[in-house]
């Protein structure tokens, strides 16, 4: 059974969706860069060991990443999951965990990388928005995509309304991505592309606004 470490910075709703999904893995630790992250308490309630590696205790990103990697490696992690971890990781850190490091992002990448994705989606007037789980690479929010979910953007949407709709889908696709990885049904191949031994399933198109 694969050992999984989760990295968080805040309340940990995506982390909680993983812990409650009965996945075929062992969650060996939840690590935060903030001692007051709400997700740490949730992890403890699930009996998961927690640790804090504060970025403020280190001189630069490289030093922080090195300290973080030492803690991750102490748990012999097979998979490192970024669940609302709000730090940009250095290239050496990312390369250390190549093919083992995944992130969830609240947009349909490659659109709206970075922050404030819902506000930007509304400003641009897109009709379909969503979320993405992807392997992490040195370029921010640009790694190979594992799974995405799309939602319609509604006429009266606000960033908060759109965020809530997308978050529901995040809680669906994040556990699915981890499940595939733990079952070795999805992996990053030597060419840096997502490979899978799963059968593709054709589905219905999402058209927004609807045709009539």
| Active site (catalytic) residues | 105
- What tokens appear for 126 in the block? 């897109």
Where do the DSSP E strands lie in the chain?
2-8, 25-32, 50-52, 79-82, 101-105, 128-135, 145-152, 186-188, 194-196
The neighbour count for residue 211, using CB atoms within 10 Å, is 5
Residues in Cβ contact with 149 at an 8 Å cutoff, skipping those fewer than 6 apart: 130, 131, 166, 169, 170, 172, 173
Question: CB neighbours of 197 closer than 8 A, spacing ≥ 6?
Answer: 185
Q: How far is CA 68 from the centre of its chain?
A: 17
Cβ contacts of 201 within 8 Å, gap of 6 or more:
none
């Amino acid at each position: 059974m694969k050992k999984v470490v989760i990295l968080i910075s805040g309340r940990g709703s995506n982390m909680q969706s993983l812990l409650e999904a009965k996945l075929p893995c062992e969650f060996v630790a939840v690590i935060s860069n903030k001692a007051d992250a709400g997700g740490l308490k949730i992890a403890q309630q699930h009996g998961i060991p927690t640790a804090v590696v504060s970025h403020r205790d280190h001189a630069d990103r490289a030093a922080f990443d090195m300290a973080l990697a030492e803690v991750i490696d102490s748990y012999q992690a097979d998979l490192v999951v970024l669940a609302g971890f709000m730090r940009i990781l250095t290239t050496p850190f990312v390369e250390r965990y190549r093919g083992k490091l995944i992130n969830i992002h609240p947009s349909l990448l490659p659109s709206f990388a970075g922050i404030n994705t819902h506000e930007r989606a509304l400003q641009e007037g897109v009709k379909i928005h969503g979320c993405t789980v992807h392997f992490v690479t040195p370029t921010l929010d640009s790694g190979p995509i594992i799974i995405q979910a799309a939602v319609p953007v509604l006429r009266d949407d606000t960033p908060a309304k759109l965020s809530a709709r997308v978050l529901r889908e995040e809680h669906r696709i994040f556990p699915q991505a981890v499940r595939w990885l733990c079952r070795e049904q999805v992996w990053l191949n030597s060419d840096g592309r997502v490979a899978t031994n799963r059968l593709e399933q054709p589905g219905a198109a999402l058209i927004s606004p609807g045709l009539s």
